[in-house]
Structure 1
């Protein structure tokens, strides 16, 4: 993999910063918690770091996205001046070390996902066309790392990755989730889908209902709408939703 130059990294920093704001806007990471990373070559990654004017995930700027190596050292001169990588950087780097299929890692603290897991509710394919990618993800299983620890070193990160296996998302008991994918957009959208399923599951159980998986024959009827729709259109929606605009001229809201 060719090492990118600084000009090539600029749009990637902007992408990750926007993704951090999407996570916060969706309520998946409150306050100063949560981070997103993206592999840029064999030894380096861009990751959301904390700087001297830290304001939290929802206010992430491109300047907060810094280049580090797999050991947390600066990936280029000056990259960590005034900034520090997240304490849980090993959560990202261990996934990247062991999963060549993964380029981006998202770590978030969605309350509904944590609550559902603590209540003994698994993430299951309880819906169909409501969220086709989420249903397919859940049908493959969402494993749980059963320790509510800060994943601050490679030993703990290895335990988490062992629990995760080859799956795209793992729940961290009493903590949050880790979502891994080939792109930043896909990793964030996976986290949103898992959060939506957890929220629906809690509502069903609270209403006295019983959770049931979508029948196999219905699952077989769900079409693959393709990456352009599942990721491309969905991601543009998330950015527009965050910005609160339909286009450059018309704000979202009731017409007057």
Structure 2
């Protein structure tokens, strides 16, 4: 169990670094969590020597229960812990939650630019997410209370991503990799949508017959290969993490 937790701490810390490297998280705002058992989670917390999400360490990933109690030590749980807890509580199939602040997603929401399935083979996962629907939670608030988190979860329903107006997004997955890459794909779709509008273009859904031709390439292609790319790029830039960190108390 201790080895499993150590490995998962590295993965969540790596997820934070990837999101920051991709521009979905700036500075110290945003967090990633993963379910541990029935009612606990590992979540990115903040300590006195906070350096930002791009430099997240495994020690900053703490094990808490759904009431926010656990091995915090010198760290503080994120204010928006209820966002993670209530999502995991309401959706037992979800194993990982990402909360990020992608500027393109925020700008698209404020400008009234709806994220639609406008591209095809260029980014199949993004197109599929848009075709399935990207609901918008309309309140621009810090989701730091259970009632606010329950509101967001209700808006999100069974979707993989919920946009948060004037705030960012929440993405979920059956793995950390899946949740992170879903957030990245929605960010890419937002960037393309904004650039199209900026160039004077009109956003148009791809035809249904083209959408039907887009295959689901599976988790190996959609998640594992892309995750490995992002991990290797972190290593190339001197930001990679060891797969076996120093043992941290569970």
Counterpart for residue 197 of structure 1: 189
The CA distance in 2 between the partners of 1:85 and 1:44, in whole Å, is 13
For 1:169 and 1:99, locate their aligned partners in 2 and report how far apart those are by CA, in whole Å.
13
Give the corresponding residue for 1:241: 233
Unaligned 5+ residue runs, structure 2? 241-250
Cα distance in structure 1, aligned partners of 2:138 and 2:27: 24
Aligned to 1:132: 124
Structural mapping, 1:57-72, within 5 Å = 57-72=53-68
Distance 2:69 2:152 in 1: 22
**Paired residues, what number?**
238
Residue 252 (structure 1) aligns with: none
Deviation at 1:38, TM superposition (A): 0.2
| Correspondence list, 1:150-229, <5 A | 150-229=142-221
Residue 224 of structure 1 deviates from its aligned partner by 1.8
Q: Report the equivalent of 1:87.
A: 79
Q: Normalised by the size of structure 2, how large is the TM-score? A: 0.93
Counterpart residue number, 2:245? none
TM-score normalised according to structure 1 size: 0.91
Q: Tell me, which stretches of 5 or more residues in structure 1 are unaligned? A: 249-256
SS at match of 1:85: coil
CA distance in 1, matches of 2:19, 2:187: 11
**Matched residue of 2:179: which SS?**
helix
Partner secondary structure for residue 131 of structure 1? helix
- For 2:201 and 2:17, the matched residues in 1 are separated by 34
The whole-number CA distance in structure 1 between the counterparts of 2:76 and 2:113 is 36
Shift of 1:244: 2.6
Alignment of 1:25-104 (within 5 A): 25-74=21-70, 79-104=71-96
| CA root-mean-square deviation | 1.1
Structure scoring higher RCO (CA < 8 A, sep ≥ 6) equals 2
